[in-house]
Amino acid sequence: MSDRLILGIESSCDETGFGIVRLGPDGSLELLADEVASSVEEHARFGGVVPEVASRAHLEALVPTLRRALDTAKVELSQIHSIAVTAGPGLAGALLVGVSAAKAYAAALGKPLYGVNHLAGHVAADTLQHGPLPQRCLALLVSGGHSQLLLVEGGLANSITEIGSTVDDAAGEAYDKVARLLDLPYPGGPPIDKLAKQGNGCAIAFPRGLTGPRDAKYDFSFSGLKTSVARWVERAERAGEEIPLADVAASFQEAVADVLTAKAIRAAKDLDVGTLVISGGVAANSRLSGLAAERCAEAGIELRVPRPRLCTDNGAMIAALGAHLVAAGAKPSPLDLSTTPGLPVGTVQIL
Amino acid sequence: MLVLAVDTATPAVTAGVVELAPDSPPRLLAKRVTLNAKAHGELLTPHISDALAEAGKSYADLDAIVVGAGPGPFTGLRVGLATAAALGQALNRPVYPVATPDAIARDAASGRPLLVATDARRKEVYWAAYDAAGRRTDGPHVERPQDLAGKLPAMGVRQATGEGAEIYAEVLGLELLQAKHPSPEGLVAAAAAEVLAKARPAALTPLYLRRPDAVEPTGRKRVTRA
Ligand SMILES: [Zn+2]
């Protein structure tokens, strides 16, 4: 069999992504294009993603972003073999724009359509950089929208089980809220990371959520941490102390990275899994990847973190997941496919 | 010319295949319409494929696409526009946006001044006014029906159509005509001159008429020393 070109479409949050991946006869993946239009700046003054603003931006960005992806890959739409689109989880109105367009592209071109899971896409992104996944691996997904620990067995098209997730805020959400508290811009991840580098992560002992002996072993909680940072800052202000911003940022970041990596390593040991993949927007955080590298090396676990561009939401990861499904001989989704804002991670494809 | 018409600005999921020739009204070959305000995303593309199949045509046979640009509830409205934009790009065919009430006004063809009002939810209507020749003279706007009612005498409109006109018939006090949702022929008629002239289409901009609901956070906490 010859090469097959897979188009991936992503619109679950505030990035409109079109990616094109070449699936080789041997199952190898080659990334040909990864074009993203982001509405992040339009959300900045609201301190978080405004769904209607994101949906409007997706509609505007569709046609030009696909055009750029085709130009970058130097292919025509008619050469596309299959189309994959994020069908969930995500913002309802935002998902609907991408899925509506994907259906129209598939119908007009007479190509198969795969409605896929955004979270599985984040794991698939890593295979664009590091090749096929081992038979069993753990994936830690951390971003503004998700914090999950997943067990992937027998490949992405086969089985994904959620073994842990956040019980309140996503990790990235906690970053955004703490950034606001420290008067740093939205999104909060990059400015906190930068400021933390000048601070001492051990200066303030912020709490580690859900790490007690009776707590859920693999679940996360970041809401208490955020509150605790707020209380600490308020107390210092009342006492008329100068706020050591860099130390607060570093100590907050240390608490997040400590809990995420400790739980991931513990799960890997408990489940006897030798590989950890970290993906999602927060994977780019320097302390998280640094601490994960340290602890994985100690525990003899292979760590895979895709480059930052592949970690954030994009169409390439959806194209990669589509390629895994096509390679596995999966049946296409029907054209009356629904979007599913609360799609569970175990459902890799909507049929 | 073979024209595809789609509209998702009302609870109707509308797709139709229409034959358009100079100097004659658009002729419907096949259509699929489902009344379900929550199913635009699921049904629109299957409706288009089914209508084409019934007409004995394929996507490649289409010469142009006409899409209702609203106003209408945002989430459903975008389905039609995203679908039309993607079809236009995939088939390399022009996509002509029309104001949805213009199509409904064509359908009503009352020959007298007419108000078209659709349901904007939140106790408001989207409305536009037309003269006896069917030309739009005002709108589209979004407004409370009570406020619109006060303007009607000055507009000289005595007939109304559309779901909003039906829901608020008592408030508006106008004679109610039957056209409720835009038909494929009405949509194509509203864009016929441009389609036939192969004019350069206008941008596919939805007629939202309302800003997104979003509030900037207040009570922002400052811990940095100014
Ligand atoms: Zn994501």
With an 8 Å Cβ cutoff, are A100 and B79 in contact?
Answer: yes
Q: Does B146 touch chain A (CB under 8 A)?
A: no
Alpha helix stretches (DSSP H) within A74-131: 92-109, 118-130
- Position B176 scores a pLDDT of 96
In a domain, residue B28? The reply is yes
In a domain, residue B168? The reply is yes
CATH of A136-305, one of 3.30.70.3270, 3.40.50.300, 3.30.420.40, 3.20.10.10: 3.30.420.40
One domain, residues B58 and B160: no
Note down the domain range covering B133: 101-176
Give yes or no for residue A132 having a pLDDT over 50. yes
* Chain B environment of A182 (Cβ under 8 Å): 223-224
| pLDDT tens digits, A238-262 | 999 999 999 999 999 999 999 999 9
How much is the average pLDDT of B3-24? 97
Q: Is B92 exposed, middle or buried (0-12, 13-18, 19+ CB in 10 A)?
A: exposed
Give yes or no for residue B212 having a pLDDT over 50. yes
Chain A nearest C-alpha distance from B61 (Å): 11
One domain, residues B8 and B84: yes
* H or E, element range at A41: helix A40-43
One domain, residues B27 and B119: no
| pLDDT tens digits, A171-183 | 999 999 999 999 9
Give me the residue from B43, B214, B221 closest to A181, CB to CB: B221
Give yes or no for residue B220 having a pLDDT over 50. no
pLDDT class of A205 with cuts at 50, 70, 90: very high
| pLDDT tens digits, B34-72 | 999 999 999 999 999 999 999 999 999 999 999 999 999
Residue B81, CA distances (Å) to A136, B57, B122, B204 in order: 43, 22, 23, 7
With an 8 Å Cβ cutoff, are B83 and A104 in contact?
Answer: yes
One domain, residues B13 and B80: yes
pLDDT class of B222 with cuts at 50, 70, 90: low
Chain A nearest C-alpha distance from B186 (Å): 23
Q: Does B221 touch chain A (CB under 8 A)?
A: yes
| pLDDT tens digits, A333-347 | 999 999 999 999 999
Residue B144, CA distances (Å) to A14, A323, B127, B159 in order: 32, 51, 10, 18
In a domain, residue B124? The reply is yes
One domain, residues B63 and B116: no
Tell me what the pLDDT averaged over chain A comes to. 96
- Position A121 scores a pLDDT of 97
One domain, residues B151 and B189: no
CATH number at residue B165: 3.30.420.40
Q: Which of B217, B145, B19 is nearest to A180 (CA)?
A: B217
pLDDT class of B93 with cuts at 50, 70, 90: very high
* Chain B environment of A110 (Cβ under 8 Å): 59
What residues pack around ion ligand 1 (CB closer than 5 A)? A 143, 313
In a domain, residue B207? The reply is no
With an 8 Å Cβ cutoff, are A52 and B212 in contact?
Answer: yes
Q: Which of A274, A286, A350, A346 is nearest to A120 (CA)?
A: A346
Q: Is A24 exposed, middle or buried (0-12, 13-18, 19+ CB in 10 A)?
A: middle
In a domain, residue B209? The reply is no
- Position A1 scores a pLDDT of 64
Between B226 and B123, name the one with better pLDDT.
B123
Q: What is the DSSP letter of B211?
A: -
One domain, residues B91 and B156: no
Q: How many CB pairs lie under 8 A apart between chains A and B?
A: 128
Give yes or no for residue A168 having a pLDDT over 60. yes
With an 8 Å Cβ cutoff, are A336 and B217 in contact?
Answer: no
How much is the average pLDDT of B152-170? 95
Give yes or no for residue B225 having a pLDDT over 60. no
Chain A nearest C-alpha distance from B196 (Å): 23
* Chain A environment of B83 (Cβ under 8 Å): 100-101, 103-104
| pLDDT tens digits, B181-206 | 999 999 999 999 999 999 999 999 99
- Position B226 scores a pLDDT of 36
* Cα of B58 from ligand 1 centre, angstroms: 37
Angle at A218 between CA A249 and CA A157, to 5 degrees: 110
Structural domains in chain B (count): 2
One domain, residues B20 and B94: yes
The structure's pTM equals 0.95
Looking at chain A, the whole-number percentage of residues with pLDDT higher than 90 is 93
Chain A nearest C-alpha distance from B168 (Å): 27
In a domain, residue B225? The reply is no
- Position B223 scores a pLDDT of 53
One domain, residues B148 and B61: no
CATH superfamily of A4-129+310-350: ATPase, nucleotide binding domain (3.30.420.40)
Give domain limits for chain A: 4-129+310-350, 136-305
Between A221 and B220, name the one with better pLDDT.
A221
pLDDT class of B221 with cuts at 50, 70, 90: low
- Position A315 scores a pLDDT of 98
Tell me what the pLDDT averaged over chain B comes to. 94
- Burial string for A87-116 (b: 16+ CB within 10 Å, else e) reads bbbbbbbbbbbbbbbbbbbbbbbebbbbbb
One domain, residues B95 and B106: no
How much is the average pLDDT of B18-22? 97
